[in-house]
Amino acid sequence: MPKHTAQYMIDGASAQIEIVEAVPDHGGIKGYFRTLALADFCWEGDPDWPVFVAQVTSVADCMFAEFNNEVEENVTQYIQFKTGGVL
């Protein structure tokens, strides 16, 4: 199965959450990754950066809890922050 890189962010986003399911090889079909949920956030300086990060991670926890399959353990959560420039 190819490795999911989670290297792309939506243009203009300051943070992004992606919930991904790994679908294994089955019946001659090669395994793949399927995006179950995607959310992006734009930080405009208010609230402060640490508050913004806490809000994003709180949403990420809720999203992961919604899609996590504890039996198969095939769901992964990616959280990305774009931190270039002045904070």
H helix count then E strand count, the chain:
1, 3
Say if strands 15-23 and 75-81 run parallel, antiparallel, or are unpaired.
antiparallel
What is the C-alpha separation between 72 and 66, in angstroms, rounded?
15
pLDDT interval class at 6 (50, 70, 90): low
pTM for the full predicted model: 0.79
Over residues 17-56, the pLDDT tens digits come to 999 998 888 888 888 888 899 999 999 888 888 999 999 9
Residue 1: pLDDT band with limits 50, 70, 90:
low
Mean pLDDT of the chain: 85
In single-letter form, the type of residue at position 63 comes to M
E strand or H helix that includes residue 54: helix 49-67
28 φ/ψ angles, rounded to the nearest 5 degrees:
85, -5
